[in-house]
Amino acid sequence: MATNFGIFVHRNSENLHLRLMGDFDGISAHELLGVLKRYSHRVSKVFIHTSCLRDIHPFGLKVFHNHLDVLKGRSIEFVFTGENASQLAPEKPMLFDLIISTIPPIAVSEATISSLSSMRLE
C-alpha cells in the first residue's frame, strides 16, 4: 500500500484538475477511481497531472485501467499531463464514451501550473 499517495483536487467551471502525488499502486488506483466517480457527474473535462508521481506499479495501472468502467455512460474527456501521462493514460483512445488524450510536460501552460497551486488534498 502506497501510504505516501495523495490527490490534490481543484475544480473550476466544468473542469476538474487532479494532481497525483507519491507512489501509484492498487490502493492508489481505487482512490483515484473514487474521486473520479464522485466528481464526474459535475464536469466535462478532467485533467490528471502526473508529474508528481514517483513509482507507478504495474498492478496499480492494471487496476486503474480495468476499472474505468465505473464511469460508463458519462461523457468525459480525460487529459493526462506530465512526465508520466503516457504511462498512466489507457491505451484505448475511446473507452465507454470517454475521450483520452495526453499532453507532454513541455506543453503545460503557466495557467495550468498556477491552478495547481490552489488545489486541495482529497
Q: Structural domain of residue 12, as residue ranges? A: 6-121
- Tally the domains of the chain: 1
Is residue 1 domain-resident?
no
Q: What is the mean pLDDT of residues 6-20?
A: 93
Is residue 83 domain-resident?
yes
CB neighbours of 25 closer than 8 A, spacing ≥ 6? 1, 2, 5, 57, 59, 60
Binning pLDDT at 50, 70 and 90, where does residue 110 land?
A: very low
Report DSSP letters for 13-80, one per residue: TTEEEEEEEEEE-HHHHHHHHHHHHHHGGG-SEEEEEEEEEEEE-HHHHHHHHHTGGGGTT---EEEE
CA 13 to CA 73: how far, in whole Å? 21
Is residue 28 domain-resident?
yes
Is residue 37 domain-resident?
yes
What is the domain-level CATH number for residue 47?
A: 3.30.750.24
Q: What is the mean pLDDT of residues 17-22?
A: 96
Q: What is the mean pLDDT of residues 61-89?
A: 88
Q: Enter the pTM of the model.
A: 0.78
